[in-house]
């Protein structure tokens, strides 16, 4: 609740005016039964047509004024609700961006998407309804009871008896359903996760003919969510019949008491009709309040889920010092007894890693699947923090360097080529915001992408579909490499980012990077021994440990793991060639 009030603080005027105009509308509505009573007692009883017309005209004026007040209140409440939700969404997105990979892995992207969309929409809807109805409905309920006292005190006691019973029903159901709505939203998280996994991995699912298994999995989760929603719906559904029952019993009591008093001459027929109208107004408002309570319960449950994301603090604290300039004397990258254990993992992914890399050197990282290659290079731009040891950039611990400055020095191309919907230019400018066309062309040329980009209609204005679906795997990889190169990083990390390229293009790419004027320090993670043969140093990993370190020639003589990888690839190639 405090979180919602925080984001509503900029809309204080709207938060005051919306309920104020709603209360004005309610005041005019409360006068209507009195006008109807007057029409019956004075107009119809005395057959005074002129008086009836005047009172009807008065009712029309009250209706028009009420409509204007209602529209004005709707405008202010919508402005406050949408503004609050917009700022909340921006703030949540910014907070998510500040989280480290560790927190992102723990929370899960499906959960975060639900928080950003469905949960915030529920909060927006709740705020809108609260500003319009939260004061109006109780005001009508208690206002109708007060007006009833002005008509007849004995008859008004029926209202006094009914309203506490109705309050117990409404708030009892509200308290009972709130945790259940939170459970429904969690079930929605699971459905979203399954859907996302299926859409992302549709090719794999079809390749292994697992459509029926995935359909069954989705159906099971969907039925669980459906069952929970039905259960909470049944509890919420009790509100209307219970409130209807209480109000109708009250109406029966009111008509019974009113009929006796009319016969005895204490009340007029118009006054009984007015009391009946006030009870009907209470019924209508309680139905609105019941729906409001359900929506408030959903909104509060969703707000609590959003707050849990805000409560997650990044385990990666920003450094305070700036990044030093690279020097030929000081290692550009140095690992000192570095180990990394992912959160929740039993064993370390890399263990006791030690090496130094100097300016302009090319370092190859090779090893079997799951040997820790990506984990190792992820420590350089500080996607994860080492659990033991130190990672130094230009002699400074990466934990002490401001993250923004550190990542300005490092350009990384990850295993999965990720491109965003938009032009090639826009994708390239993610690497460097103000990159010119000539700088982009230079990066494309180094990345061996210029040739196919020149053939695209509009060149840099060519629109890429989401995820680069209208490009081949090799084209996507070359564009992601160009995006990293456009900012001319001091340290360039290619994490198995040329796996879709043929050997000739891969060799041309490495040669172009080697001849770059800025002479960056390059880390190449690859499964191909051919891609690393000419590196200044090759690090061989096996089960998270360094089992070899040196040049290609040295490792062939001293490292069994490297020799096995090399011979398996080159002997296979020779066998195919001879066949």
Distance (Å, whole) CA 333 – CA 492: 11
Q: What is the mean pLDDT of residues 546-550?
A: 86
How far is residue 486's CA from residue 439's CA, in Å, rounded to a whole number?
A: 6
Helical (H) or strand (E) element with 494:
strand 491-495
Residues 351, 342: Cα–Cα separation, whole Å:
12
Q: Tokens 């700088």 — which residue?
A: 439
Give the tens place of pLDDT for each residue, 157-207.
Answer: 777 787 788 778 877 877 777 778 777 877 877 887 888 788 878 888 888
Token digits for 574? Answer: 């020779």
* DSSP codes joined into one string, 360-372: T-EEEEEESTTSS
What is the rounded CA–CA span in Å between residue 107 and residue 118?
Answer: 17
Residue 326 pLDDT more than 50? yes
Residue 372 to residues 156, 407, 409, 421, 525, Cα–Cα distance (Å): 78, 21, 23, 31, 10
User: Which residues, other chains included, contact 563 with Cβ-Cβ below 8 Å and sequence gap of 6+?
Assistant: 555, 556
- For residue 108 the two structure tokens come to 């899960």
Q: Identify the pLDDT of residue 302.
A: 83
Mean pLDDT of 32-36: 79
Inform me whether the pLDDT recorded for 356 exceeds 80: yes
Q: Which residue has the higher pLDDT, 41 or 97?
A: 97
Q: pLDDT at position 327, please?
A: 61
Q: How confident is the model at residue 579 (pLDDT cuts 50, 70, 90)?
A: very low
CA distance 345 to 519: 38
**CA 266 and chain centroid, separation:** 63
User: In residues, how long is the chain?
Assistant: 579
**Residues near 16 by Cβ (< 8 Å), separated by ≥ 6?**
none
Percent of the chain residues topping a pLDDT of 90: 0
pLDDT at 395 over 60: yes
Antiparallel, parallel or unpaired: β 521-525 and 422-423: unpaired
CA angle 314, 316, 321 (to 5 degrees): 130
Instruction: Count other C-beta atoms under 10 Å from residue 433's C-beta.
Output: 7
Band of residue 1 on the pLDDT scale cut at 50, 70, 90: low
pLDDT band for position 572 (cuts 50, 70, 90): very low
Residues in Cβ contact with 208 at an 8 Å cutoff, skipping those fewer than 6 apart: none
β partners of residue 545 = 542
Q: What's the gap between Cα 517 and its chain centre?
A: 42
Measured between alpha carbons, how far is 258 from 354 in angstroms, rounded to an integer? 93
Main-chain phi, psi angles of 523, to 5 degrees: -110, 125
Cα angle 571-575-579, degrees, rounded to a multiple of 5: 170
What does the mean pLDDT of the chain come to?
Answer: 82
pLDDT digits (tens, 9 = 90+) for 152-168: 777 777 777 877 887 78
pLDDT band at 328; cut points 50, 70, 90: low
At residue 470, φ and ψ (nearest 5 deg) are -95, 20
> Which residues touch 320 (CB under 8 Å, ≥6 apart)?
400, 402
C-alpha closest to that of 483 among 511, 458, 460, 501: 460
**The pLDDT of residue 578:** 40
Structure token digits, residue 207: 């390749």
DSSP H or E segment with residue 36: helix 12-38
CA–CA separation, 298 and 123 (whole Å) = 8
pLDDT band at 571 (very low <50, low <70, confident <90, very high): low
Q: What is the pTM of this model?
A: 0.70
DSSP β-bridge partners for residue 491: 410, 521
Per-residue confidence band for 573, with pLDDT thresholds at 50, 70 and 90: very low
Position 342 scores a pLDDT of: 83
Residue 577 pLDDT: 40
């Amino acid at each position: 609740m405090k979180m919602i009030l925080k984001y509503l603080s900029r809309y204080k005027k709207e938060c005051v005016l919306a309920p104020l105009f709603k209360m004005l509308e309610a005041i005019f509505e409360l006068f209507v039964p009195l006008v109807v009573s007057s029409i019956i007692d004075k107009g119809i009883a005395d057959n005074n047509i002129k008086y009836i017309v005047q009172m009807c005209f008065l009712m029309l004026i009250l209706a028009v004024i009420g409509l204007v007040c209602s529209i004005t209140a709707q405008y202010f409440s919508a402005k406050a609700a949408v503004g609050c939700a917009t700022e909340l969404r921006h703030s949540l997105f910014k907070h998510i961006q500040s989280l480290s990979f560790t927190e992102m892995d723990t929370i899960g992207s499906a959960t975060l998407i639900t928080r950003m969309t469905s949960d915030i929409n529920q909060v927006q809807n709740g705020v809108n309804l609260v500003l319009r109805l939260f004061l109006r409905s109780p005001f009508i309920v208690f206002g109708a009871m007060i007006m009833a006292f002005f008509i007849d005190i004995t008859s008004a006691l029926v209202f006094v008896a009914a309203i506490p019973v109705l309050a117990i029903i409404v708030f009892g159901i509200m308290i009972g359903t709130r945790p259940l709505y939170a459970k429904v939203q969690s079930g929605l998280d699971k459905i979203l996760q399954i859907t996302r996994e299926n859409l992302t991995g549709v090719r794999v699912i079809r390749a292994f003919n697992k459509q029926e298994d995935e359909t069954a999995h989705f159906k099971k989760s969907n039925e669980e969510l459906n069952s929970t929603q039905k259960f909470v719906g049944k509890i919420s559904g009790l509100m209307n019949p219970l409130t209807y029952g209480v109000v109708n019993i009250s109406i029966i009591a009111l008509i019974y008491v009113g009929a006796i008093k009319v016969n005895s001459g204490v009340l007029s027929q118009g006054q009984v009709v007015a009391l009946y109208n006030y009870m009907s107004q209470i019924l209508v408002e309680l139905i609105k309040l019941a729906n409001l309570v359900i929506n408030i319960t959903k909104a509060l449950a969703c707000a609590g889920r959003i707050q849990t994301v805000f409560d997650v603090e990044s385990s990666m604290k920003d450094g305070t010092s700036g990044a030093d300039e690279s020097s030929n004397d000081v290692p550009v990258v140095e690992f000192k007894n570095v180990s990394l254990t992912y959160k929740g993992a039993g064993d370390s992914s890399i263990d006791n890693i030690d090496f130094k890399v100097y300016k302009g050197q090319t370092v190859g990282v090779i090893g079997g699947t799951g040997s820790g290659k990506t984990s190792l290079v992820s420590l350089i731009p500080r996607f994860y923090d080492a659990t033991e040891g130190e990672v130094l950039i230009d002699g400074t611990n990466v934990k002490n360097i401001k993250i923004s400055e550190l990542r300005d020095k490092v350009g990384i191309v990850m295993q999965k080529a990720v491109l965003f919907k938009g032009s090639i230019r826009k994708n390239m400018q993610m690497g460097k915001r103000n990159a010119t066309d000539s700088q982009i062309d230079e990066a494309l040329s180094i990345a061996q992408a210029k040739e196919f980009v020149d053939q695209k209609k509009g060149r840099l204005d060519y629109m890429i579909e989401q995820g680069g679906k209208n490009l081949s795997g090799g084209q996507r990889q070359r564009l992601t490499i160009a995006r990293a190169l456009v900012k001319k990083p001091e340290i360039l990390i290619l994490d198995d980012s040329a796996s879709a390229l043929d050997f000739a293009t891969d060799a041309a790419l490495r040669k172009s990077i080697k001849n770059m004027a800025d002479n960056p320090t390059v880390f190449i993670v690859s499964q191909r021994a051919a891609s690393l043969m000419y590196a200044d140093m090759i690090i061989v990993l096996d089960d998270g440990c360094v089992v070899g370190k040196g040049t290609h020639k040295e490792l062939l003589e001293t490292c069994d793991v490297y020799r096995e990888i090399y011979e398996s690839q080159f002997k296979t190639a020779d066998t195919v060639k001879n066949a």
